[in-house]
Amino acid sequence: MKVRLRRLRANGTIRAMVQENRIDLSELVYPVFVAEGENIKQPIETMPGIYQYSIDMLKEIMDELYNNQIRSVLLFGIPKHKDEVGSSAYDQHGVIQNAVSYIKNNYPDMIVIADVCLCEYTDHGHCGLVKNGKILNDQTLPLLARMAVSLAVAGADIIAPSDMMDGRIGYIREQLDQNGFTDVPIMAYSAKFASAYYSPFRDAAHSAPAFGDRKTYQMDPANGREAIREIEEDILEGADFVMVKPALAYLDVVKEASMRFNLPVVTYNVSGEYSMVKAAAGLGYIDEKRIVMENLLSMKRAGAKIIITYHALDVARWINSEK
């Protein structure tokens, strides 16, 4: 008897029947940059197709997402005021708190995930407090927790800490609970690597560090075992979701996390991954749609349950136009 694996590839119908992974719009999250001010729809030069919006201009993109069956957004804020301690991050009427309540009031069944980190709000651009050129860990935790609680008060459905300070998941969980938000889940950026793939995001969010780099808190790209330890720790501290970031260069970590841990694994298909595809597609070197679907499928195959991606709206349009 000969093995003939081609039997199950004979036509599109049977291929669909045996297909192991699919892209489901309910599992895609679209990141949105919200700038303080009015009448802003500012293209981000390094991320073709992505914009900063002021709250009064959010309706356009939110309607478009909603009508295309994207039901989840991840919000980042661009405040007018930055200072040493990132005070706009935990201002109850800050840009991101206001954006959360605007979206929840107008799109109640949209899942609003709020990124928690100080780097968009500090004048030095680091994710934690700085003293003598060092990024402080324990002193940063209360500020992150304040930000998280203010976002929960504003109505955020999920809190997503991306700062990589040690112990923040447990600290934030406790503060959320003490303030009555026992039902608000935490999506932990657990294995977040110090990656060159974030640079377009830093243009988009004006969050590049003014000195040094993020290597004392984000992970070394060489370390896979340590990534598992970070994830384990966040689960012990109470994370409801764990994330691996970036996605494509770290699919081994996604795979291992999904095999070891019984909670949803999220991967963040970051700005640089998006921009490389857009740039090559813009030059006509690759077929954008096929490349994007192949990339996203590779993340599903590695075991990602949820994918955060700037391609989400394009993908939704492609999928919806096939129906």
Catalytic residue numbers read: 192, 245
Name the 3-class secondary structure at 263.
Answer: coil
- The residue range among 16-24, 96-104, 115-123, 135-143 that interacts with ligand PBG, by the rule CB under 6 A, is 115-123
Does 116 participate in binding ligand PBG (rule CB under 6 A)? no
Q: Which is nearer to Zn ion, 140 or 258 (CB)?
A: 140
Query: Letter for the amino acid at 64?
Result: E
CB of 6 to Zn ion, least distance (A): 49
- The residue range among 124-132, 191-199, 226-234, 240-248 that interacts with Zn ion, by the rule CB under 5 A, is 124-132
Does 119 participate in binding Zn ion (rule CB under 5 A)? yes
CB of 252 to ligand PBG, least distance (A): 20
Does 202 participate in binding ligand PBG (rule CB under 6 A)? yes
- The residue range among 99-107, 194-202, 221-229, 295-303 that interacts with ligand PBG, by the rule CB under 6 A, is 194-202
Does 172 participate in binding ligand PBG (rule CB under 6 A)? no
Does 162 participate in binding ligand PBG (rule CB under 6 A)? yes
Q: Choose among Zn ion, ligand PBG, none what residue 250 binds, the Cβ cut-off being 5 to 8 Å by kind.
A: none
CB of 162 to ligand PBG, least distance (A): 4
- The residue range among 77-85, 89-97, 112-120, 134-142 that interacts with ligand PBG, by the rule CB under 6 A, is 112-120
Cα 210 to its chain centre, rounded Å, is 23
Does 271 participate in binding ligand PBG (rule CB under 6 A)? yes
| Binders of ligand PBG in range 289-318 (CB under 6 A) | none
Strands 134-135 and 130-131 come out as antiparallel
Name the 3-class secondary structure at 287.
Answer: coil
Place of tokens 């909670």: 263
| Residue 28 to residues 142, 180, 308, Cα–Cα distance (Å) | 31, 29, 6
The Cα 106–Cα 102 span in angstroms is: 6
CB of 309 to ligand PBG, least distance (A): 9
- Torsion of Cα atoms, 194 then 117 then 50 then 195, to 10°: 0
Q: Are 72 and 28 in contact (CB under 8 A)?
A: yes
CB of 247 to ligand PBG, least distance (A): 10
Q: Choose among ligand PBG, Zn ion, none what residue 201 binds, the Cβ cut-off being 5 to 8 Å by kind.
A: ligand PBG
**200: closest CA among 300, 271, 94?**
271
- The residue range among 35-43, 100-108, 145-153, 200-208 that interacts with ligand PBG, by the rule CB under 6 A, is 200-208
Q: Which is nearer to ligand PBG, 153 or 194 (CB)?
A: 194
The Cα 31–Cα 310 span in angstroms is: 6
Query: Which DSSP string do the residues of 32-94 spell out, in sequence order?
Result: EEEESSSS-EEE-TTSTT-EEE-GGGHHHHHHHHHHTT--EEEEEEE-S--BTT-GGGG-TTS
| Residue 264 to residues 260, 286, 310, Cα–Cα distance (Å) | 11, 32, 20
Q: Are 77 and 119 in contact (CB under 8 A)?
A: no
CB of 323 to ligand PBG, least distance (A): 29
User: Which residues make up the interface to Zn ion (CB under 5 A)?
Assistant: 117, 119, 127
User: Which residues make up the interface to ligand PBG (CB under 6 A)?
Assistant: 115, 117, 119, 127, 162, 198, 201-202, 207, 214, 270-271
